[in-house]
Structure 1
Amino acid sequence: MLKDGRDLLRFLVFVTSRSSGPGGQNVNKVNTRVELRFNVHACELLTDAEKMLISEKLKRKINSYGEFILVRQTERSQLKNKEKCLLAFYELINQALIPPKKRKKTKLSVAVKVRRSEEKKRAAMKKKDRGWSKNSGLEGE
């Protein structure tokens, strides 16, 4: 469930299949891998702004059809994998719906500006002193 109480459960599609890896006696018999599919653009409970936020923040998990896909296969039970999928889904969606914070412009203090200009002057003098002049090599003659 979203933080504001909306429930997206009716827009979710679960697909199960056989999980990879070791599984003991049930390895080739039980479909424990759970794939959650959620079409972001077809959901009527989300506003257009929320759909854009989700699409932007979770673009790596959304395919070309606009489906948000999440897979869990760590547990040996389909039910536990489904629960983990749902928890991860709502956590990701709630995180994606948090609007980005606006950046506050900060001004440099006078002391920082003075320190910076003095540092620039020191660097300029250092470079100027490295230079060659007509009289620099002829003092001994």
Structure 2
Amino acid sequence: MIEITSWLRIDEDELVEKAARASGPGGQHVNKTSTAIELRFDVANSPSLTDDIKARLTALGGSRMTQEGVLVLFAQGHRSQEMNRQDARERLIELIRRATEKPKPRRPTKPTYSSKLKRLEGKTKRAGVKSMRGKVRSDD
């Protein structure tokens, strides 16, 4: 079991890890070893997550989410497969943690009377500046 928060845990069986070849520089080492890790987590069918967490996680996942609701994380920053595996898991845990936080509801507010006056005053001043930029008229 992977502990996300004090009350939320996901089973290791829900994660699918696949090793792949990493791209980028590294010479012979990169060309012959599969150190990159592709971590897949089926958000849509996870029994560990509630519906609201699933919805927030899907939104946070963005382009990393597939059409089927699977979150795909690709880690290739380290030279060792184990460190890339750990990095991918940490990123997944952090994403799920962020999804567990409920957003604070926005309370609609009205602008104060003085802020309205200030805004209109600024607009009047700006209009005066712009009107002075016009063609010069001779009053002969």
TM-score, scaled to structure 2: 0.75
1:1-141 paired onto structure 2 within 5 Å: 1-8=3-10, 9-21=12-24, 22-25=26-29, 27-28=31-32, 30-118=33-121
The RMSD of aligned alpha carbons is 3.0
Q: In structure 1, what residue type is equivalent to 2:4? A: L
Query: Structure 2 stretches of 5 or more lacking a match?
Result: 131-137
Per mean C-alpha deviation after superposition, the further-off stretch among 82-91 and 101-110 is 101-110
Q: Residues 14 and 37 of structure 1 are in contact (CA less than 8 Å); yes or no, is this contact kept in structure 2?
A: yes
Deviation string 1:87-132 (CA, Å, 9 cap, x unpaired) is: 11111221133222222323322222333455566778999xxxxx
Against the structure 1 CA distance between its residues 36 and 118, is the aligned structure 2 distance closer, same or farther, given a 3 Å change threshold?
closer
Give the total of aligned pairs: 133
Q: Which has the larger radius of gyration?
A: 1
Partner of 2:117: helix, strand, or coil? helix
Q: Residues 23 and 76 of structure 1 are in contact (CA less than 8 Å); yes or no, is this contact kept in structure 2?
A: no
Q: Distance in 1 between matches of 2:35 and 2:87?
A: 12
Q: Residues 15 and 34 of structure 1 are in contact (CA less than 8 Å); yes or no, is this contact kept in structure 2?
A: yes
Q: Residues 37 and 70 of structure 1 are in contact (CA less than 8 Å); yes or no, is this contact kept in structure 2?
A: yes
